[in-house]
Chain A
Amino acid sequence: MEILLSDLLEQYGYDFTGYSRASLKRRISRLYGLDKALSFAEFRYRINNDHGYFKRFVEQITVNVTEMFRDPSFFKTLRDVVLPKLGTYPFIRIWLAGCSTGEEAYSISIILKELNLLHKSLIYATDLNPTVLEKAAQSMFAMSQMKQYSENYILSGGTKDFSSYYTANYSLAKFDDELKSKIIFSTHNLVSDHSFNEFQLILCRNVLIYFDRDLQHKVLSLFDESLEELGYLALGTKETINFSQITDRYKRLQTEKIWRKVEV
């Protein structure tokens, strides 16, 4: 596996060496079995020489599972505390790092719209994997998920009829274009790319769990650099900034994994 990782770095500039090994290894073995590779040598050759296959490799070893309004209480805090606070600003810039297929981005967009803030907001939704971003930009999700998402939405404090946000098209739900109008989907690799703006809210949920501590330190510094004074940083339910050097400048909000950058 270490051979593959150094190939990817040399050949394509993708650095996975700071990723947690157990998960990576499971993903790689899974793909190896799925694609019925004849031998490790053949598998390696394909990744290095077939660009299409390399794309598939990256898609398959990163975990893209996501949901709308996942962890409803988190979205409730965004709705009740964080976004109203940011609503007092003339313009709201949000960075959603590791947005995967976009379910989170549309969830935030829905809340902004209901708070009447969407017109003055911009959501930069980024991911290292271009394929998930293409999917995200289509604003279509499986109809079969809508019952669950609608329940999550209600639990997160939503009061509208969730189905008013999409039109059903056979097995797909197509979300209103208005929701997408303030989202910019773009590739950004947290390992190698730099800060590209200043934000009032940065969300990066369930991405850091795949990184080792060193890489987590580095990425948290990147977020710190990209966050305005009094801005908010939101992580996944099981992630924390407690171990990192930025923690002194941040104050945790209630029980959610949301921290506010305070003046020192």
Chain B
Amino acid sequence: MKKCEAFIIGGSAGSLDVLLRLLPRIDAAIPFPIIIVIHRKHGSDSLLTDLLSSRTKLIVKEVDEKENIVAGTVYIAPSDYHLLIERDNTFSLDYSEKINYSRPAIDVTFQTAAEVYKSNLYCLLLSGSNSDGVNGLKSVQLWGGKTLIQDPASAQVAYMPAQAKLHVKIDHILGIEDMGDFINLLA
């Protein structure tokens, strides 16, 4: 089986609830980083970090620019910046134009990660009402990574995962309750 070097989760409307249910199920000794990019209002950063870290023993932190990416940590993309993955396994931030009306854009993180981690990357797209993440998943597939979506039937807003399903070859469709086990089994 392929090794997982990074697990990236993108989500928009209706995805917070999924994360709150998923995080408690992830093993505290998970041997890869989990990177979360969700759309939200500018300025609510620490709130989200606190909320998510209350649900897990893993370290949850908002990304600092040029920070080394470390296994066993849950990273949150800061609001109002795009989050990029660098070849030397660090994060960088970018304040360029919004993409799909979003900053951070899930596409940007998926695309830059795809080139760095190639076949050792897993990207999961959750509930949401726009099509951010779809192009990102295309790149992930192109570079040999694994494409995953939340089962649209279980999503509060099905549009985003449904768009992905329509336009990209999806490797796994996961129900909310299956996500934790799936991630733990990649260890």
Contact = CB atoms under 8 A, between A and B. Distances in A.
Interface range on chain B (Cβ under 8 Å from partner): 10 to 19
B96 A63 contact: yes
Interface stretch (B10-18, B85-93, B129-137, B174-182): B85-93
Contact of B96 (A20, A23, A216, A239): A23
A206 B96 CA distance: 10
Interface string A214-253: 0010000000000000000000111110010000000000
B171 interface: no
Interface string A4-35: 00000000000000001111001100000000
Interface range on chain A (Cβ under 8 Å from partner): 20 to 34
B65 A238 contact: yes
B81 interface: yes
A238 B84 contact: no
A219 to B, nearest CB: 13
A238 B87 CA distance: 20
Contacts of B3: none
A174 to B, nearest CB: 24
A23 B64 contact: no
Interface string B86-119: 1100001111110000000000100110000000
A209 B64 contact: no
B145 interface: no
B66 interface: yes
B81 A238 contact: yes
Interface in A46-90: 63, 65
A20 B84 contact: yes
Interface of A: 20-23, 26-27, 63, 65, 206, 209-210, 212-213, 216, 236-240, 243
Interface of B: 64-66, 78, 80-81, 84-87, 92-97, 108, 111-112
